[in-house]
Structure 1
Amino acid sequence: MSDPNGDTPSRPFTITAQDDRLLPFAVEGLDLRGRLVRFGPTVDAILSHYDYPLAVARALGESIALTALLGSVLESHGRFQMQTRSDGPVDMIVVDYDAPGQLRGFARFDAERVGQARSTGELLGLGNMAFTIEREEDAARYQGVVALEGESLEEAAHRYFSQSEQIPTFVRLAVAEAITPQGRSWRAGGLLLQHLPSGGSRPRDLHPGDAPEGMASSLADEERADAWAEGLALAATIQDHELVDPNLSGERLLYRLFHERGVKVFPEREMAEFCRCSDLKVENLIRSFPPHEREHMVGDDGRIGVTCEFCGVSRSYDPKEFE
């Protein structure tokens, strides 16, 4: 039995819950493809780099889950980035996904304004959200943009796929702070469900779900509408606590949602935090500036200080090292 990409066998059902995994699946009776992601230590590590207010941490956690769902179309090479720029208390969020499953991210916010926001939509405000894919095999770069109009990330993603990609899409994101005997930690989860595109459709910026290359829906238009309505109704029953429950496996959750139609799951992909910064990269970056610009980088302590926005690691250098 092949996976949605046509070359990897599906795997046996398991009831064992695992964190930091992305699980592709298919509901073939309804021409549906999707991905389920469940985060534990990975999202907790990213959100713990800075002392984010709770609302900001949740917005960043949702962004990480959304990026994993979309970026995972890159099988083994390439990069995917989700970035927001807006006028809200959180004026920028950046999350990078390096295939096959490495993530990093950060949020920039105005601490004085954050407390006035009551939802992710109000935190972000008005602006735009961009999705960028960089494929190493052909040095290609694709970008899609959707306006942020004070709605949630889920709603913005729905509008993007409806208007730009024209693929029926459902997205659900959830973030929670868990309390365990070991202390507090963050968890996140997400579900993406898409209907197979019909034949003859135009090229798209983003890959159409986990459908095999060149494959389109075999259903007639009326059947497609009914199938998507049924799939959407089933997916909409998912609860936030199910997406972040550390004791509920991905297979059991998908079975709850789609057992009436039958659901196939395929090999999971591991997710992990990883930052691209390194001593060598930072040193080379500093060396790339002319001497007069490096002089302006010297702080009151007489050293050049550099802090990575993603992982929060600070590095300090003696300016004489670059003379």
Structure 2
Amino acid sequence: MTVALRHEGDDRVLPFAVEGLDVRGRVVRLGASIDTILERHTYPAPVSRVLGEAVALTVLLGASLKFEGRFQLQTRSDGPVDMVVVDFDTPDRVRACARFDAERLAGIAAEGAPSTGTLLGQGHLALTIDQGADMARYQGVVALQGQDFQEAAHQYFRQSEQIPTFVRLAVGEEFISAEGKARHSFRAGGLIMQFLPKSPERMRQADLHPGDALQDQNITLARVEDDAWTEAKVLAETIEDHELLDPNLSSERLLYRLFHERGVRVFEASAVHEACRCSTDRILAMLHRFSPEDRRDMVGDDGRIGITCEFCSRHYDFDPATVEAGIEASQA
């Protein structure tokens, strides 16, 4: 396996506030962490970009949690990339995987670079907060109808959180020539910004359109946004992909470039790294939940039970007799 390229400022989340515009947010830069995830699976480039966007969004959202728990992003859809799963375990661990149809992907890619929305297709995106066995889980669901993760996030905050929110995501490849060989690695970045004035009235968003109710009354609904939020969005919308990906442009410098006229304040950054939760004990506990018949069906031609983690690709090998003996001992 190739060692991922590392740059100072990578794999961290930087919180910020622009008090003059009543906004708060976070910037994430992912280098070795996202490259490790993608290189391990050797996904085709279009799939890597989809998963990179999903990881950047998950880290941006999960990093806001103030408790021990897990934030999960999961999609199920009818596109060539029919499933994406990203787990963020607070405070700093992320893992991810994707499932795709290679034949369908090749057919679409032959027509040009497919968008994230095209690769996901129709389905749903679920965002889940899990605070542990003693707490109820929270889940928000967004319909996927050909949009990318940025627009899906905007839709989620409009419908579920009712907080004016701006999200920007980027994924790209970095190429470096060393010792006569070209080495490439994936990078991902993202920014989330939310309008959080002290007055609830200033934060209120326009109601959803009433459908056919007003069609015969010649009434037009006007969406009125706070001037501060409008200005913040105009500034944030100037971000280019390369600014979120450039290892030589720090998150602090990017924020200063965007908001220096209004005064931007940054807080202590937090690290993030790729880490899987799988272990021999966890896999054995999973096997215990299957019936004896199911476990017998898992035995391969070599007489062993082999299980590969979908997230980190680590392979576990078990002797069926030892597994059954362990189950009997635990039930005694």
Q: Which range, TM-score by smaller chain?
A: 0.7 to 0.9
Q: Give the 5 Å matches for 1:6-45.
A: 17-45=8-36
1:55 to 20, 24, 46: 46
> How far, CA to CA, are the matches of 1:136 and 1:290 in structure 2?
26
Opposite residue 155 of structure 1, the aligned amino acid is E
Aligned residue in 1 for 2:146 = 150
Q: Which has the higher contact order (CA 8 A, sep 6+)?
A: 1
Q: In structure 2, what is the equivalent of residue 212 of structure 1?
A: none
Shift of 1:163: 2.0
Q: Give unmatched runs, 5+ long, in structure 2.
A: 1-6, 205-222, 325-332
Q: CA deviation at 1:33?
A: 0.6
Partner of 1:190: 190
Q: 1:161 to 1:177 in 2, by over 3 A?
A: same
Q: What secondary structure does 2:297 align onto?
A: helix
Please give the TM-score of this superposition, normalised by the length of structure 2: 0.83
Deviates more, 1:173-182 or 1:21-30: 173-182
Note the alpha carbon deviations across 1:166-190, whole angstroms, 9 max, x for none.
Answer: 2111111011111123511111000
8 A Cα contact 1:299 1:305, kept in partner = yes
Question: Structure 1, unaligned stretches of length 5 or more?
Answer: 1-15, 203-220
Match of 1:170 in 2: 166
* Structure 1 residue runs of 4 or more that deviate by more than 4 Å after TM superposition: none
Q: Which residue in the other structure is 2:82 paired with?
A: 91
SS in 1 for 2:300: coil
The residue identity in structure 2 corresponding to 1:186 is F
Count residues with an aligned counterpart. Answer: 289
Give distance in 1, aligned partners of 2:285 and 2:73: 26
- What's the CA shift string for 1:274-312, capped at 9, x where partnerless? 100001111222233232221101112221110101001
Report the equivalent of 2:314.
313
In 2: Cα distance, 1:138 partner to 1:277 partner: 22
More divergent stretch after superposition (36-45 vs 16-25): 16-25
Match of 2:257 in 1: 256
TM-score normalised by L of structure 1: 0.85
Query: Partners of 1:137 and 1:52 in 2: how far apart?
Result: 34
Aligned residue type for 2:103:
E
SS of equivalent to 1:186 = strand
Q: 1:254 to 1:131 in 2, by over 3 A?
A: same
* Structure 2 residue 137 is the aligned partner of structure 1 residue 141: yes
Tell me the distance in 1 between the aligned counterparts of 2:166 and 2:151. Answer: 9
Contact 1:45 1:273 in 2 (8 A): yes
Q: Which one of 105, 109, 119 corresponds to residue 115 of structure 2?
A: 119
CA distance in structure 2 between the partners assigned to 1:104 and 1:126 by the alignment:
24
SS of 1:56's equivalent in the other structure is: helix
Cα deviation, residue 137, structure 1: 9.7
CA RMSD of aligned residues (A): 1.9
Aligned to 1:226: 227
Q: Tell me the residue number matched to 1:241.
A: 242
Q: Which piece of structure 1 moves more, 248-257 or 157-166? A: 157-166
- Provide the residue aligned with 2:217 in structure 1: none
Q: Secondary structure at the match of 1:181?
A: strand
- State which structure, 1 or 2, has the greater radius of gyration over its C-alpha atoms: 2
Shift of 1:48: 1.4
Distance 1:84 1:287 in 2: 28
What SS does structure 1 have at the residue aligned with 2:119?
Answer: helix
CA contact (8 A) 1:154 1:172 kept: yes
Task: Give runs of aligned pairs for residues 64-75 of structure 1, distance below 5 A.
Answer: 64-75=55-66
1:297 aligned onto 2:298: yes
Kindly provide the amino acid, as one letter, of the partner of residue 145 in structure 1.
V
**Aligned equivalents of 2:235, 2:158: Cα separation in 1:** 19
Q: Name whichever of 265-274 and 280-289 sits farther off.
A: 280-289
